[in-house]
Chains A and B, each alone.
Chain A
Amino acid sequence: MTTEKMTTSPPKRDHAVAAAGTATQAPTSEPVPPASNATAASAPTAARASSARGRHVPAAGTPEAEAIEKARSEMLRDAKPLNRTRIGADALCEALIRQGVDVIFGYPGGVILPLYDVWADYPELRTILVRHEQGAAHAADGYARASGRVGVCLGTSGPGATNLVTGIATAQLDSVPMVAITGNVPGALIGKDAFQEIDISGITLPMTKHNYLVLKADDIPRVIAEAFHIARTGRPGPVHVDITKDALTSETRAEHPTVLDLPGFKPRFEGHPRQINLAAREIEQARRPVILAGHGVLISGATEDLRVFAEKTQIPVAHTLLGVGAMDETHPLAYGYMGMHGWKHVNKAIQSADLLIALGMRFDDRVTGTVSSYAPNARIIHVDIDPSEIGKNVAVDVPIVGDVGSVLRAFIAAVPEVDPESRADYLAQLAAWRVESEATPWHGSGGWKQGILTADYVISRLGELTDHDATLVADVGQHQMWLARYAGFRRPDSHLSSGGLGTMGFGLPAAMGAALGRPDKETWAVVGDGGLQMTVQEMLTVVVDRIPVKIALMDNKKLGMIRQWQEIVYGGNYHSSDLPAPRWDKLAEAYGLPTFKATRPEEVDDAIRAAQAHDGPALAWFEIHETQNVYPMMPAGKGLSDLIEDWGAPADGAEDR
């Protein structure tokens, strides 16, 4: 929490205005001028700068160039020699560098080109040219999840911006810090249905933490500073910054701010002491407590605090889909994955609990099932940094607003140490349930023993062969559930998954971002054949930009989760769940990736090892059993006690056709 360096003076690399009195940082209380004023003020500059490429660079040797150079050198301190006027695009690049940005995922287009025109002057900013803007947004998302830093994606106006929308929504629902930058048509054209104009701020308004429309170059430094602050502070989330073309091309002397004035944004980090004491009493009295660890534990970097707290109080820890990795799964108190496709023993423990300690999770419907029958005898302590999550889905007995890490440390100080002996009966019962649950045939299928390649086997081998230390990025569907259940995660932020929005096509681009965010870790995209086809074009990005992503493709030639629902919920009325796929080896070859294929259990290890051994991105193609289901399963509209748990004999799948 305190590792950030407070920057009060501009770093050397920036252009900063030396003269006092030219600061243009507008306090938030100052209303943004209407568009007509802004365009009137900057129209001459905009017209000059946008009329032709490079026109903002006066020809060398002319009196105009000399005058500008003189003015610039007087204006700027520690400036790098640009040989041209500092424009909004420069201010944007400087602001990004100040925020520690090292990678930007983007796609060019008409109105964002002024930025591409200056990029060569900022080699600190690595730009990755994705093949579709959705890939850029997911990559920024994956970068942010894996590294904990703010991810940045970029697109042009109109279609570029709307293509980012799916990725922004994914980040919003999973609380991922991200700044999405889009260009917009010049201010004078806003509202005129100009070429590639769409009201993108109106579109992103309900699905971002905050958004901005920047009409003046002078506003860029302040807006970018605020955007990053909002994106990463408190409950993280995406912030969208829409910048008009004339704001990017106008000359600006705006200084980078050293203070922020956001009176309406003051997240509370410390839990209220009275609530902490109430919670401590509940924890002391509970006989059957369960900790529910969510994404907030990882975001807050509180995994160590969680372990200490759980050990001190001897309380088992269940986790949500995004809470995977909150506790090393080999820890004796790590009890497992809860919810719709969670472990039966975990859901049973929750249903019989007398106290739930919810840490940074939001009682999603995939976690609770029917609320009226959820954990009927449990009192609930709910810790979340976002007050609006508390009391939203379930009523709570002890609400605590605060950062999970800080509240956990307060808990640790406030609760007495619990003798493991006093919980012996409870923990023994949970252990027995666990043995029973893991021994049942639907723990995995056991199909591999008969030579059938099943997904759970592939996933567990993948976890084993990557030493449970690689970053494994899921797409969405059956394999996503198998990954969360069978890979065996031991490191925080090693499991990335689109949990809230459930965005198919997330896997490959997010893995691309994750590999750049954590280059020290092996990175695998674990994808299904349906999801991979949604963003398959990013195969070329990983090849061209040499991003070492390995792809584990679970190919059942089906939309597996759709097929499973149609089998179980819709009485076998299959429609659109068969998914003829391309010849993956030929496709990968076309993109420049080697393919290593396994169709039988004994070939799995070789395929994984061969992909690992290849220097660069590679595809491991697993042709898995076509009709394997994820069990147990809580049908929609039912409660946690109503799990369907049946694997049945792994048949040839013919009855499904």
Chain B
Amino acid sequence: MAAMNDPIAAPEKVAQKQRYIPGSGQVHRHVLVVLVNNQPGVLNRVASLVRSRNFNIESLAVGHTERPDISRMTVTLRGDDFAVEQMAKQLYRIIDVLKVQDLPESGVVEHELALIKVRATESKRGEILRIIELYKGRILDVGPETVIVEHSGTEQEIDSLVALLGGFGIKELVRTGTIALSRGSGAIDVEAILRAGPEPLRTPGPVTAPASQPATTETR
């Protein structure tokens, strides 16, 4: 029953709040795992979606899984929780996307691989090798003027090695982008997703009495 101070009496008087606009919250780094059918054009679909929905990704790593017909993409991006959830939902609209998971900030093993070609003259080589040893990197190639260093680790570890080696002069650098797995026994069950299909095909068949009744039921 309406009380005296009921908003029905004077709706304009009620204190007005500002409505939150999705995507305008605090920005964090997120790691999304996307399992897709290993089909031609799927990478294009994902990349096109990311661009058209105005998301900004930091890295994208793709490779097939233990099943050759399934690929796994690892996407790192920055955004507020709403925006990242929205990106995951948009990804689900792609028919070839089977599973999207936003990995939690903790409880995750994250790594990426970098190959770095560093200028290494006779006089500097020893110093470079000591740094590499310290970082548990490997030397893959030694040339008269350069060495190629392989290092795997978290984004920050690689960043700091790159910064250190920068002083000697980096000639070329390639990074794979982050790949990640959640710790412990929890895992994405691809088989369960695939077991869900196939389903019987329903066809409406030829039109018999087209008009007397709206056929909206057919869209379901």
Contacts and interface: CB of A to CB of B under 8 A. Distances in A.
Whether A associates with B in a native complex is: yes
A390 B85 CA distance: 10
Interface in A7-38: 7-8, 11, 27-32, 34
Interface stretch (A109-117, A298-306, A307-315): A298-306
Contacts of A34: 40
A239 to B, nearest CB: 9
Interface stretch (B10-18, B101-109, B110-118, B121-129): B10-18
Given A6-B200, A264-B95, A374-B19, A148 B218 contact: yes
A521 B211 contact: yes
A345 to B, nearest CB: 13
A8 B207 contact: no
A6 B96 contact: no
With most chain A CB atoms within 10 A of its CB, the pick from B16, B41, B211, B214 is: B214
Contact of B217 (A1, A8, A202, A265): A1
A211 to B, nearest CB: 9
A518 B8 contact: no
A229 interface: yes
B14 A206 contact: no
Chain B facing A: main interface SS = loop
Contact of B95 (A228, A262, A371): A262
Contact of A149 (B2, B7, B14, B204): B204
A31 B196 contact: no
Interface in A229-273: 229-230, 232-233, 236, 257-266, 269
A403 interface: yes
B194 interface: yes
A31 B219 CA distance: 29
Interface stretch (B43-51, B132-140, B149-157): B43-51
With most chain A CB atoms within 10 A of its CB, the pick from B52, B82, B193, B202 is: B202
B22 A395 contact: yes
A371 B217 contact: no
B32 to A, nearest CB: 14
A34 B212 CA distance: 48
A7 B70 CA distance: 30
Contact of A354 (B7, B19, B85, B196): B7
B49 to A, nearest CB: 7
A340 B89 CA distance: 28
Contacts of B202: 4-7, 229
Interface stretch (A65-73, A96-104, A458-466): A96-104
Nearest to A299: B219
B185 interface: no
Given A376-B18, A519-B210, A177 B219 contact: yes
Contacts of A392: 22, 86, 89
B160 interface: no
With most chain B CB atoms within 10 A of its CB, the pick from A3, A390, A403 is: A3
A260 B198 contact: yes
Interface string B183-210: 0000000000110111111111111001
A488 B148 CA distance: 75
A394 B22 contact: yes
Contacts of B27: none
A99 B216 contact: no
Contact of B197 (A7, A225, A260, A405): A260
Contact of A206 (B41, B49, B212): B49
A376 B20 CA distance: 10
Interface in B64-102: 68-70, 82, 85-86, 89-90, 92-98
With most chain A CB atoms within 10 A of its CB, the pick from B20, B41, B82, B220 is: B220
A99 B220 contact: no
B76 to A, nearest CB: 21
A533 interface: no
A230 B95 contact: yes
Contact of A261 (B17, B97, B197): B197
With most chain B CB atoms within 10 A of its CB, the pick from A11, A352, A521 is: A352
A573 interface: no
A315 to B, nearest CB: 14
A260 B201 contact: yes
B38 interface: yes
A502 interface: no
A375 interface: yes
Contacts of A422: 1
Contact of A386 (B7, B93, B199, B200): B93
Contacts of A30: 69
Range, interface on chain A: 35 or more
A205 interface: yes
A264 B71 CA distance: 13
Contact of B200 (A8, A236, A262): A8
B133 to A, nearest CB: 43
Contact of B204 (A5, A29, A205, A394): A5
A264 B8 contact: no
A429 interface: yes
B54 interface: no
B4 interface: no
A4 B218 contact: yes
A611 B94 CA distance: 46
B92 A3 contact: no
A441 B110 CA distance: 66
Given A32-B40, A261-B197, A148 B217 contact: yes
Contacts of B204: 4-5, 99-100, 149
A392 B88 CA distance: 12
A387 interface: yes
Contacts of B212: 520
Given A100-B206, A148-B214, A391-B22, A352 B7 contact: yes
A576 interface: no
B21 interface: yes
A394 B19 contact: yes
Contacts of B21: 371-372, 394
A493 B214 contact: yes
A426 interface: yes
Interface string A269-311: 1000000000000000001100000000011110000000000
Given A28-B37, A102-B207, A300-B216, A263 B7 contact: no
Contacts of B26: none
A235 B51 CA distance: 22
Nearest to A33: B40
Contacts of B82: 391, 395
Contacts of B96: 264
Given A265-B95, A422-B1, A229 B19 contact: no
B37 A29 contact: yes
A417 interface: no
A373 interface: yes
B7 A102 contact: no
Contacts of B98: 263-264
Contacts of B210: 102, 147, 517-520
Given A372-B21, A425-B8, A520-B212, A391 B207 contact: no
Contacts of B12: 352
10 contacts: A6-B200, A32-B40, A257-B201, A299-B219, A373-B18, A373-B19, A376-B18, A377-B14, A394-B19, A492-B214
Given A102-B207, A391-B89, 9 more contacts: A5-B205, A147-B214, A298-B216, A373-B19, A376-B19, A377-B11, A391-B82, A403-B220, A519-B211
Interface of A: 1, 3-8, 11, 27-32, 34, 97-100, 102, 124, 147-150, 177, 201-202, 205-206, 209-210, 213, 225, 228-230, 232-233, 236, 257-266, 269, 287-288, 298-301, 351-352, 354, 371-377, 386-388, 390-395, 403, 405, 422, 425-426, 429, 492-493, 517-521
